Homo-oligomer: A and B are copies of this chain.
């Protein structure tokens, strides 16, 4: 791997981050929260290191596939580090490890937090916190739709044929083209949500913060009580709708904005996502009749929580730990499924689960008709054996990481439910889990070794597992 080139690119990215660190300034001035100097300091530090990297590594080589893994992983690791500075400098989070956890939770669009009281945090810091998720979401869309397919990772290599672009080994031109188009879509839907929320009486500042974290399926809020405190039923419905959109493949949104709305229903993954989501809402709603007196409130809260956890956003409007056990089990199951490939949602992705289901049935049918050749198809196209094997490898690794990280949390003395729930909440980039990290709790009370482990889980989950794990192979580093 060309480490010099990798570091040079990080320099450029840090300059970009420095610019982003100045975005909260107007909010700081408006609310006079006194945090502006700390943002200027964070931006300066980020810019200084960025310039230093650009100067020390003046290489001009083209980026190849192998460097792609290093660039992507290192970008998230460094962004989380420099993005943690405002939390530390303003004293919002005292421990550097916890500040890193919060920042990683932002850039991976997870939404797990160590901040116990949001009311005492300066407004500009909360804007920054939401912005980290929005930027993470931007990164993920480009990553999953433009970079990972080229690296041969992620569910989207399935649709590779559909994405136009050069088939060369060089990454830059193709990524730039795709990025511009998709970011346009991302920006547009975010703006639409800001407008919709402000129509419901939400202030500009809070509408921006929540639109940022909805579209990223991140889930950071400006309120301790999350969306329940932000507004009434109108706001709940608006947020549910936009969470749903954020969990959909952004290239479908792109098509729809160009007039081809039928693309949604031609996508098998979208139909699967819709069916799983709708049937889960229905079952949870029916079982929640034991808990809710008013059916409409029940429907609103059931739809909100199911959408929030399936899209891996992690907002809350109700304490689902008080719901029937079945509803909780469904929510945990959905945490593993997550959003669609090419969305900002985490988890294993609908397309992978759909392919696993299809693969299983195909195996059964092969036993009955051993001589009949049947191929695994999606969207009427045959899925190659390599893709199936890669997806099955992903599935095994995902479960493996879940098991071993849960063992790690258990070794740190965390209780039964919390150990597994904290890991899946971070690995699938959701935010809240169950037990001691449930919807009414936070992650502050965990041991700091746990924060390190969970930060790693967020990173691995967000970057589709393979991207990070290849770096562990010694042979990856050889020329």
Residues of A in contact with B (beta carbons under 8 Å apart): 65-66, 69, 151-153, 287, 324-326, 328-330, 333, 356-357, 359-360, 362-370, 385, 388-390, 392-397, 399-400, 403, 406-407, 410-411, 413-417, 419-420, 466, 469-470, 473, 475-476
Contact = CB atoms under 8 A, between A and B. Distances in A.
A364 B410 contact: no
Contact of A396 (B330, B357, B368, B420): B357
Given A287-B411, A407-B333, A410-B326, A364 B400 contact: no
Given A152-B367, A359-B389, A369-B475, 20 more contacts: A65-B370, A151-B367, A324-B410, A324-B413, A325-B414, A325-B416, A329-B419, A333-B407, A357-B396, A360-B396, A360-B400, A363-B389, A363-B390, A364-B470, A364-B473, A367-B466, A368-B475, A385-B389, A399-B399, A417-B417
A360 B420 CA distance: 22
A328 to B, nearest CB: 7
Nearest to A435: B416
Which 8 pairs between the two chains have the least Cβ-Cβ distance?
A363-B393, A326-B410, A392-B392, A325-B410, A356-B396, A329-B410, A326-B411, A360-B396
A388 B66 CA distance: 27
A469 B153 contact: no
A333 B393 contact: no
A349 to B, nearest CB: 15
Q: Which of A388, A395, A406, A416 neighbours the largest number of chain B CB atoms within 10 Å of its CB?
A: A416
Nearest to A434: B416
Contact of A407 (B330, B396, B403, B406): B330
Contacts of A389: 359, 363, 385, 388-389, 392
B403 A367 contact: no
A416 B66 CA distance: 44
28 contacts: A65-B370, A66-B368, A69-B367, A151-B367, A152-B367, A152-B370, A153-B367, A325-B415, A325-B419, A326-B410, A326-B411, A328-B410, A329-B407, A330-B407, A333-B407, A356-B396, A359-B393, A359-B396, A363-B393, A363-B466, A364-B393, A364-B469, A366-B390, A368-B476, A385-B385, A392-B392, A395-B396, A399-B399
Contacts of A415: 325
Nearest to A395: B396
B364 A466 contact: yes
Given A396-B357, A410-B326, A403 B365 contact: no
Given A368-B475, A407-B333, A325 B413 contact: yes
A355 B369 CA distance: 25
A412 B378 CA distance: 35
A445 to B, nearest CB: 16
Contacts of A400: 357, 360
Given A325-B419, A407-B333, A473 B368 contact: yes
Nearest to A411: B326
A360 B325 contact: no
A369 B399 CA distance: 24
Contacts of A419: 325, 329
B360 A406 contact: no
A148 to B, nearest CB: 11
A376 to B, nearest CB: 10
A369 to B, nearest CB: 7
Contacts of A385: 385, 389
A368 B403 contact: no
A403 B333 contact: yes
A338 to B, nearest CB: 15
A329 B388 CA distance: 30
Contacts of A326: 407, 410-411
Task: With a 10 A CB-CB cut-off, give which of A69, A395, A420 has the most chain B CB atoms.
Answer: A395
A368 B151 CA distance: 10
A50 to B, nearest CB: 29
B367 A470 contact: yes
A389 B151 CA distance: 23
A359 B388 CA distance: 12
Contacts of A363: 389-390, 393-394, 397, 466
Contacts of A333: 403, 407
Contact of A360 (B329, B357, B393, B413): B393
Contacts of A330: 407
A419 to B, nearest CB: 6
